Structure 1
């Protein structure tokens, strides 16, 4: 990828392009938090973060808020609502199952661990689907592709679990970081996805983005 190649700092430039990417990552995280205020829009807000950061990495250029808004609106209201409802239904189901498993029923402990394992696997697939470049066209095919990638790339799954765990730890230590962490998490997942993709010119990505 072009962004991974050595880059020289321009005369008078204090931080260089890496700092620009870091600042964009935090700005995108804050934008995703604001876009997630209705809660039901959270999956689409996170997917939009992955999309703009992917394009920024591939094309080696700054992110704009107009670009983020465009990615957020790309799926259309119906897909935004369906994604939000599906995510919250899944979370509610897992929480209820864990509550039932912890109610002192026989076999509750192994059932709880099994539910946690299923929840973690579902989270990994959902996060990888959010980073899919075609997720705006539909979450179901994106989830299918994410499940296939997850089965073929257990190391990537481990990296995503680690990134999500670190985000939880950061929020536990300093809750205010929750406002910015969607950006670093989206960046981490996008980096995991890009490591297995062939590098190509940014112009192709630009054409795809403008078409969406």
Structure 2
């Protein structure tokens, strides 16, 4: 990744072009997020930082620097990371409970397993949309409230994010080592979902 100014071409840019540079940046910051997420409690901040730096990279048409990612990750602060990290542990516990119920063979276990799966997926989609919020570093609770509002107004976007998550799960199931690279592509997919309606707003503003 390069920390150079946007107007300076990347070495090899004549061969690969800016899209290849964005692809490499996406994988690199995704790998950094995977490493930063190892304690689990830091996973929300690590993923939100990926969303923030990729969003700025696309908006400003410039490469991503690792220093920018580190600064974005540190901007969340320990007090704001801890509550979000607790939610990650709760979500993992819910998934483990779901799997245990599915294999228990108890009466009503299958409907309960499907219900827990639906709740888990819905909560994960909202949490991912909150991570992509530009103001999430100032507090996860307001970001979650805005994510719930966006999700209610954009069910198609929720479906797209759920599909992206499902693809990531399938890739990890096929090749577990891919888990180290998937945070970047997943963040990019969520960012694309969040930004896909912006041109319509811009057209409206310019027409007014």
TM, length-normalised to structure 1: 0.83
Shift of 1:177: 1.3
Matches within 5 A, 1:44-55: 44-55=45-56
Shift of 1:190: 0.6
Q: Which runs of 5+ in 2 are unaligned?
A: 1-8, 203-208
**How many positions carry a matched residue from both structures?**
192
**Cα RMSD after superposing both structures:** 2.1
| Secondary structure of residue in 1 paired with 2:194 | helix
Using the alignment, how far apart are the partners of 2:58 and 2:157 within structure 1?
18
Partners of 2:98 and 2:117 within 8 A in 1? no
Partners of 2:101 and 2:113 within 8 A in 1? no
| Secondary structure of residue in 2 paired with 1:93 | helix
TM, length-normalised to structure 2: 0.85
Using the alignment, how far apart are the partners of 2:90 and 2:115 within structure 1?
19
Aligned to 1:89: 90
**Distance change (3 Å), C-alpha of 1:169 and 1:97:** closer
Q: Which runs of 5+ in 1 are unaligned?
A: 1-8, 201-212
Partners of 1:98 and 1:115 within 8 A in 2? no
Using the alignment, how far apart are the partners of 2:180 and 2:96 within structure 1?
24
Partners of 2:101 and 2:112 within 8 A in 1? no
* TM superposition outliers: structure 1 runs of 4+ over 6 Å: 9-12
Aligned to 2:139: 138
Matches within 5 A, 1:37-76: 37-76=38-77
**Distance change (3 Å), C-alpha of 1:147 and 1:100:** same
| Secondary structure of residue in 1 paired with 2:16 | coil
